[in-house]
């Protein structure tokens, strides 16, 4: 007889002892105890926080949680901002914002929820203000090597709105509007159609364009993974979620679908009050599960202040429906470019069962040089975040290589000249050649800044970086046994 079978299960043992648990010797803690009040990631902003904004002083919770109210009261110009915030900021700030709106290459759209999360008494430094509301006085000149659509999303698009760069996955830009407009948006070349009429007119054309995208996907057996983005999946009507989801699920080659949306970060209440939208997504997820296909939500939080008790409630609902949510952040100067903020963001996302997936080094985008960081910043923060929580909650820090090289791990450069701010990446499975990233010029030493304003010296610095990358690669190829 097996000895093990004689051992009684724990609950029977406890019963035999009566209901009293056995006396335990005190446990010696090796690690110093943690003061629970320092676990900031669990302390979420709650209550009627929006009522400190003059325009929302009388807005009750039911109204604030109504996504249609949020959409209707979204701020799209400086006048509306003035009406909402009133005397919380001085006139000089409005003037700065008005100029900033005028200079911005991107439309502006800020939900009342986001507006309420900004600390207007520190408007210049507030991390949410910096992301969504431009001020002229803080703008910096663009990097000389910046081009619109720096990621070559259009060049890699076989049909409009479908970027097929990697072997087995493609990016489907379903539409060109968002629940918010981010200053730092990579797609400022496409995103930002603003008026209601234009949206209505383009809608039908949109669905015809989709058919061409589905046709292309069906003709490429190697495609397995589709990112549905935009713009933003939040802007899709429930029936459009159903249509896109079903069309893609019915293609035998498709195994994975991600609906990408910034919505949970800027208007979480939609997940609480727009039942039709969440039900449509849930139905696609459930149908996918039956077909053994993964359908998930990808979202975009950048700062821990974007995660409130409302967010938690919204994401709890998503989690209860068995929908996996992952997050992609953009590393931004003055927003989330410190170890403490990034660690808090990662932990807070985890607390809401959102898996931090990527942190992007800021793309070369027009008009937002003040938001970019150096590559070194990304490498330093990555090092400090790794090891603080579960590996599957540890984001990978990536550079989306300008020129269409795709995402490369920030640490994986072939060469990085911290003086000139030039980093060189290779993407052997995506595209031949080198891909260059450039640190913001204002972060470099004055004599190097001077070089960047001289075309001949720019070419010299770049040629030098490429030569060094070539030398590094030749040396490591010689030493490596990987074939
Ligand atoms: C980011 C991206 C994808 C998805 O890449 P993952 O690394 O799998 O998240 C697909 N296509 C394009 C063009 C992309 O930019
Ligand atoms: S939500 Fe995404 S696509 Fe829309 S403006 Fe922001 S970053 Fe760009």
Decide if 351 contacts 392 (C-beta within 8 A).
no
Question: Does the pLDDT value for residue 17 go beyond 70?
Answer: no
Does the beta carbon of 165 sit less than 6 angstroms from any atom of ligand 1? yes
Does the beta carbon of 152 sit less than 6 angstroms from any atom of ligand 1? no
Does the beta carbon of 178 sit less than 6 angstroms from any atom of ligand 2? yes
**Residues 251-278: what's their mean pLDDT?**
97
What band does 152 get if pLDDT is binned at 50, 70 and 90?
confident
- For the ranges 65-79, 145-159, 185-199, 404-418, the lowest mean pLDDT is seen at 185-199
Q: What is the atom index within ligand 1 of the atom nearest the CA of 171?
A: 11
Per-residue pLDDT reduced to its tens digit, 398-430 = 999 888 888 999 999 999 999 999 999 999 998
Does the beta carbon of 171 sit less than 6 angstroms from any atom of ligand 1? yes
- Domains with residue ranges and CATH for the chain: 49-138 (no CATH), 162-411 (3.20.20.70), 413-483 (no CATH)
> Closest residue (by CA) to atom 7 of ligand 2?
185
Q: List, in sequence order, every residue forming a beta bridge with 258; answer none if it has no partner.
A: 227, 296
Question: Does the pLDDT value for residue 151 go beyond 60?
Answer: yes
What does the alpha-carbon distance between residue 369 and residue 372 come to, in Å, rounded to a whole number?
5
CA distances from 404 to 37, 154, 156, 343, 467 (A): 45, 10, 8, 30, 21
Does the beta carbon of 190 sit less than 6 angstroms from any atom of ligand 2? no
**Residues 193-207: what's their mean pLDDT?**
51
Decide if 249 contacts 217 (C-beta within 8 A).
no
What band does 1 get if pLDDT is binned at 50, 70 and 90?
very low
Residue with more model confidence, 19 or 203: 19
3-state secondary structure of 139: coil
Count the Cβ atoms, other than its own, within 10 Å of residue 171: 21
Decide if 423 contacts 376 (C-beta within 8 A).
no
| CA 247 centroid distance within chain | 26
Question: Does the pLDDT value for residue 196 go beyond 60?
Answer: no
**Residues 199-223: what's their mean pLDDT?**
82
Strands of the sheet containing 415-417, edge to edge, are 415-417, 422-427, 431-438
Identify which of 89, 29, 44 has the alpha carbon closest to the alpha carbon of residue 349.
44
What does the alpha-carbon distance between residue 297 and residue 287 come to, in Å, rounded to a whole number?
15
Write out the E strands in 80-175.
162-163, 169-173
Does the beta carbon of 191 sit less than 6 angstroms from any atom of ligand 2? yes
Does the beta carbon of 357 sit less than 6 angstroms from any atom of ligand 1? no
**Residues 371-384: what's their mean pLDDT?**
98
Could you tell me if residue 433 is left (phi over 0), alpha (psi between -120 and 50 degrees) or otherwise beta? left
Looking at residue 200, what is its pLDDT? 41
Q: What are phi and psi of 257, to 5 degrees?
A: -130, 135
Looking at residue 188, what is its pLDDT? 65
DSSP 273-296: H-HHHHHHHHHHHHHHHHTT-EEE
Distinct helix (H) and strand (E) counts, the chain: 17, 12
What band does 18 get if pLDDT is binned at 50, 70 and 90?
low
DSSP 324: -
SS (H, E, C) 373-411: CCHHHHHHHHHHHCCCCCHHHCCEEEEEECCCCEEEEHH
Checking DSSP bridges between strand 422-427 and strand 431-438, what pairing results, if any?
Answer: antiparallel
Q: What are phi and psi of 329, to 5 degrees?
A: -110, 160
What band does 148 get if pLDDT is binned at 50, 70 and 90?
low
> Closest residue (by CA) to atom 14 of ligand 1?
171
Say which residues have a Cβ less than 8 Å from residue 246's Cβ, sequence separation at least 6. Answer: 284, 287
Looking at residue 20, what is its pLDDT? 78
CA of 453 to the centre of ligand 1 (A): 33
Question: Does the pLDDT value for residue 267 go beyond 90?
Answer: yes
């Amino acid at each position: 007889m097996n000895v093990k079978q004689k051992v009684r299960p724990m609950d029977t043992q406890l019963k035999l002892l009566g209901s009293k648990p056995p006396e335990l010797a005190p446990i010696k803690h090796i690690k110093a105890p943690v003061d629970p009040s320092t676990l900031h990631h669990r302390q979420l902003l709650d209550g009627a926080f929006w009522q400190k904004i003059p325009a929302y002083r009388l807005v009750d919770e039911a109204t604030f949680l109504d996504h249609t109210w949020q959409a209707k009261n979204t701020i799209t110009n400086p006048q509306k901002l003035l009406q909402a915030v009133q005397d919380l900021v001085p006139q000089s700030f409005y003037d700065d914002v008005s100029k900033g709106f005028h200079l911005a290459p991107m439309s502006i759209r800020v939900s009342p929820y986001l507006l309420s999360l900004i600390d207007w008494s520190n408007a210049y430094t507030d991390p949410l203000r910096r992301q969504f509301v431009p001020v002229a006085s803080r703008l910096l000149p663009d990097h000389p090597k910046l081009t619109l659509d720096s990621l070559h999303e259009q060049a890699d698009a076989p049909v409009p709105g479908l970027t097929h760069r990697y072997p087995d996955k493609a990016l489907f830009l379903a539409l060109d509007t968002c629940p918010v407009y981010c200053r730092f948006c990579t797609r400022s070349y496409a995103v930002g159609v603003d008026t209601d009429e234009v949206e209505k007119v383009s809608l039908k054309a949109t669905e015809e364009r989709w058919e061409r995208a589905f046709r292309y996907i069906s003709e490429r057996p190697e495609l397995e993974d589709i990112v549905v983005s935009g713009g933003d999946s939040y802007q899709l009507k429930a029936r459009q979620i159903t249509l896109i989801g079903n069309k893609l699920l019915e293609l035998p080659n498709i195994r994975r679908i991600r609906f990408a949306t910034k919505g949970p970060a800027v208007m979480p209440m939609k997940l609480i009050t727009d039942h039709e939208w969440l039900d449509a997504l849930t139905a696609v997820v459930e149908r996918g599960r039956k077909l053994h296909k993964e359908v998930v939500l990808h979202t975009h939080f950048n700062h821990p202040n974007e995660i409130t008790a409302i967010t938690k409630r919204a994401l709890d609902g998503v989690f209860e429906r068995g929908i996996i949510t992952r997050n992609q952040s953009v590393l931004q100067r003055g927003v989330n470019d410190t170890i403490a903020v990034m660690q808090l963001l990662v932990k807070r996302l985890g607390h809401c069962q959102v898996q931090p997936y990527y942190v992007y080094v800021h793309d070369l985008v027009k008009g937002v040089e003040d938001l970019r960081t150096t590559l070194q910043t990304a490498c330093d923060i990555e090092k400090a975040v790794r090891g603080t929580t579960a590996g599957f909650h540890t984001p990978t820090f990536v550079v989306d290589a300008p020129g269409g090289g795709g995402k490369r791990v920030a640490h994986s450069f072939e060469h990085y000249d911290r003086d000139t701010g030039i980093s060189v990446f290779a993407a052997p499975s995506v595209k031949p050649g080198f891909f260059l990233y450039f640190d913001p010029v204002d972060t470099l030493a004055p004599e190097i800044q001077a070089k960047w304003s001289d075309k001949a010296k720019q070419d010299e610095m770049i040629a030098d970086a490429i030569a060094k990358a070539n030398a590094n690669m030749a040396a490591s190829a010689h030493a490596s046994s990987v074939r």
